[in-house]
């Protein structure tokens, strides 16, 4: 399958990074969001990320300008009609994603692959929202997208072999390492990561140590490059909470209950780096 134009739905933390890596691979990208200010902010983030690459001599000024020129933005999903692939990276909320996938289904061509960057929502459920479920797949990028090597590919029960092959190959073209997993709550990455982050929140909630000390234990003791609480702030605490809630609901196991501190921080609007305050202040 030949990919030339890629749609990305959502211009937030993940969406703008995903748009950037596709544009860096020479593809034309249309980044769509309901919010014009999110699109403006998304483009600024991509500009800043490219400027850092230029500063480190990993990208030329002209190359960075060409990457930016390949990205256009829109507040209308209809503008994604000619894409061969749309990667949905909107807010982690099933109702929002269902609305997006149902609308995309009526907008894109019959060969277009619809991928989701969801962290935890069942791809099998997402595939059931559209008329060609064999062309739905999970393309789970890691944060920050331009730097992280992994793309976790999730096969829905309905995903066709051709769709899977095309996305596996495309991930390699982006310079990423794809790992394919079956559809199951949290997939592999968040099934393992989120309970660890949640447990670190419990340790803080129970006043066993400060946030800094919890992160230092995991960095220096376990050789993690970043502590779990700092990582949660990077991911977004609302996203972390939503993933814990999904694991809890799917497995009906109390070991996945969200830490009350995480619930409170989200209720207070302390969402991590993106709001300037989470477990830490920014």
Cα-to-chain-centroid distance, residue 104 = 18
Strand-strand pairing, 28-32 and 71-74: parallel
The one among 4, 35, 165, 177 contacting ligand NAD by CB under 6 A: 35
Candidate segments 29-37, 58-66, 214-222, 251-259, binder of ligand NAD by CB under 6 A: 29-37
Toward ligand NAD, which CB reaches closer, 126 or 170? 126
Q: One of 45, 119, 198, 242 is an active-site residue; which one?
A: 119
Residues 135-154 close enough to bind ligand NAD by CB under 6 A: 140, 143
Q: Is the peptide bond before 106 cis (omega within 30 degrees of 0)?
A: no
Q: Is 15 in the site for ligand NAD (CB under 6 A)?
A: yes
Minimum gap (Å) between residue 95 Cβ and ligand NAD: 10
Minimum gap (Å) between residue 278 Cβ and ligand NAD: 12
**Among all chains, which residue has been given the structure tokens 């996938």?**
101
**Among all chains, which residue has been given the structure tokens 């935890």?**
120
Angstrom distance (rounded) from CA 15 to CA 170: 17
Q: At 58, phi and psi to the nearest 5? A: -95, -5
Residues 251-280 close enough to bind ligand NAD by CB under 6 A: 274
C-alpha dist (Å) from residue 112 to 25, 127, 133:
19, 13, 11
Q: Is 183 in the site for ligand NAD (CB under 6 A)?
A: no
Residues 85-124 close enough to bind ligand NAD by CB under 6 A: 89-92, 96, 99-100, 117-119
Minimum gap (Å) between residue 2 Cβ and ligand NAD: 26
189 as an active site residue: the answer is: no
The CA-to-CA distance between both ends of the chain, in Å, stands at 43
User: What are the residue numbers of the active site?
Assistant: 119, 140, 152, 190
């Amino acid at each position: 399958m030949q990919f030339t134009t890629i749609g990305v739905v959502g211009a937030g933390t993940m969406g703008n990074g995903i748009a950037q890596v596709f544009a860096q691979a020479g593809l034309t990208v249309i980044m769509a969001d309901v919010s014009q200010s999110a699109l403006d902010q998304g483009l600024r983030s991509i500009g800043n990320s490219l400027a850092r690459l230029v500063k480190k001599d990993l990208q030329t000024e002209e190359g960075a300008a060409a990457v930016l020129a390949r990205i256009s933005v829109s507040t209308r999903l209809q503008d994604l009609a000619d894409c061969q692939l749309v990667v949905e990276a909107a807010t982690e909320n099933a109702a929002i994603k269902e609305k997006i996938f149902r609308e995309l289904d009526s907008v894109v061509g019959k060969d277009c692959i619809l991928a989701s960057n969801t962290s935890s929502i069942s791809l099998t459920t997402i595939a059931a929202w559209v008329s060609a479920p064999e062309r739905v797949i999970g393309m789970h990028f890691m944060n920050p997208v331009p730097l992280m090597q992994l793309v976790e590919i999730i096969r829905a029960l309905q995903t066709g072999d051709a769709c899977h092959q095309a996305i596996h190959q495309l991930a390699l073209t982006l310079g990423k390492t794809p790992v394919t997993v079956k559809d199951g709550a949290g997939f592999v990455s968040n099934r393992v990561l989120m309970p660890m982050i949640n447990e670190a929140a419990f340790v803080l909630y129970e006043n066993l140590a400060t946030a800094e000390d919890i992160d230092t234990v995991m960095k220096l003791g376990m050789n993690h490059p970043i502590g779990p609480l700092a990582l949660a702030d990077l991911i977004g605490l609302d996203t972390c909470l939503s993933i814990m809630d999904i694991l809890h609901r799917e497995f009906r196991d109390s070991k996945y209950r969200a830490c009350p501190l995480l619930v409170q921080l989200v209720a207070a609007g302390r969402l991590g780096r993106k709001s300037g305050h989470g477990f830490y202040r920014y």
